Amino acid sequence: MKYDYLIVGSGLFGSIIAYEMTKIGKKCLVIEKRDHIGGNVYTENVENINVHKYGAHIFHTNNREVWEYINQFADFNRYTNSPVANYKGELYNLPFNMNTFYQMWGVRTPDEARAKIDEQKSQYHIENPQNLEEQAISLIGKDIYEKLIKGYTEKQWGRACRDLPAFIIKRLPVRYTFDNNYFNDMYQGIPIGGYTRIIEKMLEGIEVKLNTDFFDDREKWLEMADKIIFTGMIDQYFDYCYGELEYRGLDFEFETLDMENYQGNAVINYTDAETPFTRIIEHKHFEGSDSPKTIITREYPKTWSKGEEAYYPMNDDVNSELFKKYQELAEKEGNVIFGGRLGMYQYFDMWQVIDEALKLARKLD
């Protein structure tokens, strides 16, 4: 064996394992099918602006260990995510808070807001929400559901809200204070200089082969190392023997504009059903930039098909059951360990990926 570890994928998960194993003296090889490292956190400096090439990435966590860990690799600024929703030209603050309630109904106090939401909820008699629609209505009532959730969510996931799991909407806070911070976490920010630098530091001195797909020569790669950390799609690894897991795809449309400030905020969500994209990101607002130009990205969700980048696992009941079957196979696989958003088929944020990678690194030798 030439290497102690073969790591398939240079995203956050694979790069942390490579860094931690190298630190304890193991010889690692990282292979990556894309032409760059970093997976979906990859950023690129264009026009003096750090562009998030795979959609807005805002770091947030409540986990102090994770926060301290990632701070070894970068300084973070004090960016606080406060997206704005545009519903047919009407603007609302997100997440759902007193500003949103005032904009929606003109209510000025928490009691007035609660009364309005309770009145809207009471018409539906939902005791135990069974799907995203019921969950959303029972959290914030019908008006907000219809204007700020339904259209966006159905575009994002390509399914009716009644057919989606409730947990997706529980990611968003509902607050009876005038607070537009999208996250409840203690720590939040954007790494100054972009995410790619973090990954470069993790992979410093480690052999990385870009443009190299594990499946083009899996037998060769499996023989290369004692242990394999696989961060690609778990169903693909097992040749889809139980059928395909579902993912959601995305197209990113980039535009460089000859103006200083296009939309005045990093993230604006388009929550109606007709606009084909879900959000527009204006990258310079994450870190600030004195560029006279600006770069924006429109995000278009789409049906995923084999061969395309799989951006979101669909963690509904059917897919979670199917994943469990693959997980049973994975447990028998001996020297191959599955990690990350695709290997573990979980809608993980970055902090969860770091947490999982560190848990695994502690077990490896």
Active site residues: 171, 175, 248, 279, 299, 347, 349
Q: What is the radius of gyration, based on Cα positions, of the chain?
A: 22
Q: How many CB atoms lie under 10 A from the CB of residue 11?
A: 27
Q: Binding of ligand FAD at residue 29 (CB under 6 A)?
A: no
Q: Which of 83, 191, 313, 340 binds ligand FAD (CB under 6 A)?
A: 340
The binding track of 294-333 with respect to ligand FAD, each residue x by CB under 6 A or -, is -----------------x----------------------
Dihedral, CA atoms, 157, 158, 164, 169, nearest 10 degrees? Answer: 40
Considering Cα of 122, then 125, then 127, then 133, what sign does the dihedral take? negative
Q: Binding of ligand FAD at residue 95 (CB under 6 A)?
A: no
Phi, psi for residue 239 in degrees, rounded to 5:
55, 35
Cβ 173 vs Cβ 96: under 8 Å: yes
Q: Which is nearer to ligand UDP, 184 or 211 (CB)?
A: 184
Q: Where are the beta strands (DSSP E) in 223-322?
A: 225-230, 247-257, 267-270, 279-282, 294-303, 312-313
Which residue's structure tokens are 């077990």? 363
Alpha carbon distances (Å) from 248 to 9, 277, 337: 19, 14, 24
Beta-bridged to residue 300, according to DSSP, are 251
Q: Which is nearer to ligand FAD, 50 or 138 (CB)?
A: 50
Q: Which stretch binds ligand UDP (CB under 6 A): 71-79, 169-177, 193-201, 281-289?
A: 169-177
Q: How far is the CB of 276 from ligand UDP (least distance, A)?
A: 15
Q: Which stretch binds ligand FAD (CB under 6 A): 89-97, 171-179, 274-282, 346-354?
A: 346-354
Q: Which of 6, 139, 140, 169 binds ligand UDP (CB under 6 A)?
A: 169
Q: Which is nearer to ligand UDP, 160 or 241 (CB)?
A: 160
Binding residues vs ligand UDP (CB under 6 A)? 85, 94, 148-149, 152-153, 156, 168-169, 171-172, 269, 271
